[in-house]
Amino acid sequence: MANPDLELQGAIVARLKARAGLTAKVAQRIYDRPPTNAPFPYVEYGESQVIRDDVGCLKSNLIYVTIHVWSQYSGGFKELKEIIHEVVEALDEAPLVLPSHRLISITRQDTRHLKDPDEVTTHGVVEFVARVETPA
């Protein structure tokens, strides 16, 4: 059986890369692992956690996903917050289609805006939770 976490990651990345408002800001710089010296700004598919959470007779998982946004915009948090807005608009309650599992829901849980110690880089952290049903 296919991995629901990996299927969800593929659907999320595809949706982000298809969002014109996001790609206008970061082009196709949406990474699983950013290359060394990746140009700013960019989006990174970060950590995930899978928790089995069967509901009645349905096999399902809660999948927690973290999306990171990185910027070095000289005007503070403006660019970072605009990019985060595009990420949230793309994914919150999105009707994602997975190859062999069924997405029941995906919702934004938390958003943080951080200043990195280098005093140049800003870092956004957006957390989503998805409920994914495993076929019988």
Would residue 96 count as lying in a domain?
no
Distances (CA, A) of 126 to 21, 69, 84, 102: 17, 8, 7, 23
Please tell me whether the peptide bond between 41 and the residue prior to it is cis, using omega within 30 degrees of 0. yes
| Percent with pLDDT over 90 in the chain | 92
Would residue 116 count as lying in a domain?
no
Backbone angles phi, psi at 82, to 5 degrees: -65, -40
7, 133 contact by CB (below 8 A): no
pLDDT in tens, 27-60: 999 999 999 999 999 999 999 999 999 878 889 9
Would residue 85 count as lying in a domain?
no
What is the total count of domains within the chain?
1
pLDDT in tens, 9-28: 999 999 999 999 999 999 99
Model's pTM, two decimal places? 0.95
- Domain hosting 50: range is 1-74+104-110+125-136
19, 43 contact by CB (below 8 A): no
Would residue 97 count as lying in a domain?
no
Would residue 80 count as lying in a domain?
no
